[in-house]
Amino acid sequence: MYKSVGCSKVAAVCLLLLILCSILLIAIVASFARPRCIPTDDETSDTQTPSQKGPIMGDDGRPFGWQEIRLPNDIKPLNYTLFLHPNLTTNQVLGSVEIVMNATKSTNFIVFHAASMNITKPSKIDLQGSDSKINIVKMQRTKKNEQVYLKLASKIQQGRKYVLNLDFDYTLADGLNGFYRSTYKVGEEERVLATTQFEPTDARKAFPCFDEPNLKATFKLTLIREKRHITLSNMPLLGASTPYTGSKSTAGLVQDEYTESVIMSTYLVAFVVCDFKNISDRTESAIPAQQQHGHEFVKVAVFASEDKLSQTQLALDVLKYTIPEYERFFGVKYPLPKQDMIAIPDFAAGAMENWGLITYRQASILHKENVTSDASKQWIVQTITHELAHQWFGNIVTMEWWTDLWLNEGFASYVMYVGTDMWQARDNLGWRMMDQFVVSTMQSAMNTDSLSDSHPILVEVRSPGEINEIFDSISYSKGASIIWMLNNYVTEDVFQKGLTSYLKMYQYSNAKTADLWNAIANARKDNGKHTDTNEISDMMDTWTRQMGYPVVTMARSGGTITATQKQFLIYSNGKPSDDFASKYNYKWTIPLTVVTSSDPKPDTQRISESQKTLFTKDQDSATLTINPNVQWYKANYKQNGFYRVNYLRPELAAIKEPT
């Protein structure tokens, strides 16, 4: 245990200096390990990334057969049939996987992901074509890139299907990713469960797979368990559980087989073995089945340990209410027949949006009436609505590569406020979620983004380490803020039409940032008022492809306001990091809004087109015309834009103290 000890002043000073030096050293190291900016407007990235410095070595000490972090684009997985037998007593996992795949190019090798597991020897790996078996000449592995390279005796042919069968085994992880072991207590009794956390790159620790978000497939899962346990996964059980007879020691073992999943990315696969209980209900779909293919209702359930089951009612209520509300908001049906949520005792993140089986940290889902604070209650609702937003934005449509992570997280971070506002309005709780959005999310992002060592929303990432770095406030909070700004600029109706079009166009597939801008631009064009479909991407690129944001200085002369812009940095003598060169010279295309003392009460006013102007990155200044007799004016109405405003002293005084 920790004990407090006394020290002299000299020793204390020395200790303080040592701590400061350590912090400085960490900052220097971190500055060289930051993600890279995407250099061009072309958001189409090759499936292969530039080679790393020096050859990637295999675990056998020889150069690895594939020298890229990204997998080759020769193979497209179609279906995984996955068998897993986790033993919660010995912590050992036995598994096998059958991968049906299509050869998109002819090739004499296959590369896939696997980490922290033993894989069958090459002589026992089975690769079948439509008419013959293909022998494996060599298997090579690399821990560095967590890849397996199979050299084939003959080429597989473009356009044909092949089936790869592998056996593997490993130990349940002690950490909080992959397929890992978790313990908890009910009374004095310690119990064990096994659960998963795969985002971003840890599905490969649970089964061999093509572990990249654009390599989507369907999944058929079989789990073996003891009778005292249950299993959960993305989809419902195919039928009743059956006794397992596949090994010598089968007494008391049960086999659970799950229905085949929809097409999805590997990081969304999830499964749990536990002894939890649940409460359940069902929710009626907001979109009739004759309008869109799908289910008439969705079964919803919340799972927790038996001693905490009484704390799950709020979560079930939010879950049941939000799914049909989101169906209306997105204009797209929820596609699965069920949605489960589960409270995990040991969980690193707040929650994870696994399709059909959302996993939560206990504090992010459990609510004890008359004990949990109102702030914690609101946080629980926000976390649930965030994860449910992902079921559409992230699961139905997934980013092409982790570079566009913000499409998932920024959007969900915005929509969770919309969803929470819908839920609280039902009970008239007065949470004023969009006012909170400005304070909690937008201002937080502005604080981070005003530092000279910030980074753009869109950054080039390749390795798992780089990918994990961008799960930060820039992707989440700044991403949410520019979505909010765009929504207000194009109007809510146009924005939602664009979202619906985007989701329908790319459903069960992948998309890039430019695809979202194009969908919203086309919705705006269809509205009949705007014909320039490049306007949205031209504007939004200035917010996603360079770090920071502007401060707009306003100067009034009678009925004319002149606006100028420059990058806002919290330290006035600072300069942007050299890590990210800006092709826009740190100029932004800003949707400026202005209200005046002669306008209707702002709280009840919708901004008209006459009160908006687009201050483009190519202008030195922008000019707005107002009634010369108005007492005051205010820019950035309701803080809808991701920029600060600077007024001259007399104009600021007029806002503060109107006569």
* Catalytic annotation, residues: 387
Helix axis angle, 313-330 relative to 374-390, nearest 10°?
Answer: 40
Determine the distance from the C-alpha atom of residue 104 to the mean position of all C-alpha atoms in its chain, rounded to a whole number.
Answer: 28
Neighbours of 454 (CB within 10 A): 23
**In angstroms, rounded to a whole number, what is the distance separating the alpha carbons of residues 362 and 483?**
30
Q: Which run of H or E residues covers position 524?
A: helix 513-526
Contacts of 76 (CB under 8 A, 6+ apart): 101, 102, 104, 215
CA distances from 50 to 108, 157, 225, 401, 511 (A): 22, 26, 44, 15, 22
Contact 320, 279 (CB under 8 A): no
**Would you say 538 and 589 are in contact if contact means Cβ atoms under 8 Å apart?**
yes
Residue 276: closest CA among 319, 340, 335: 340
> CA-CA distance, 100 to 445, in Å (whole number)?
44
- Between the alpha carbon of residue 204 and those of residues 72, 196, 211, the distances in Å are 16, 11, 6
**Integer Cα distance of 604 and 638 in angstroms:** 11
| CA–CA distance, 524 with 496 (Å, rounded to integer) | 10
According to DSSP, the residues that pair with 101 across neighbouring strands are 77, 162
Is residue 352 helix, strand or coil?
Answer: strand
- Read off the amino acid at residue 325: E
How far apart are alpha carbons 96 and 168 in whole angstroms? 6
> What's the rounded Cα separation, in Å, for the pair 66 and 64?
6
Looking at residue 605, the DSSP 8-state letter turns out to be P
Give me 294's structure tokens.
Answer: 């799908």
**Closest of 553, 414, 542, 434 to residue 477, by C-alpha:** 414
Per DSSP, the three-state class of 41 is coil
- Where does 307-404 have alpha helices with state H? 313-330, 374-390
Cβ-contact 351, 319 below 8 angstroms: no
d(CA 230, CA 459): 42
* Residue closest to 108 by CA, chosen among 82, 72, 57: 72
DSSP letters for 177-206:
SEEEEEEEEETTEEEEEEEEE-TTTTGGGT
Q: How far apart are CA 608 and CA 605, in angstroms?
A: 9
CA angle centred on 471, ends 465 and 474, rounded to 5° = 125
Structure tokens at 134: 């293909």
What would the two tokens of residue 632 be?
């005051």
Other Cβ atoms within 10 Å of 115 Cβ, number: 21
Go through 140-177 and write b for each residue having 16 or more CB atoms within 10 A of its CB, e for each that does not. bbbeebbbbbbebeeebeeeeebbbebbbebebbeeeb
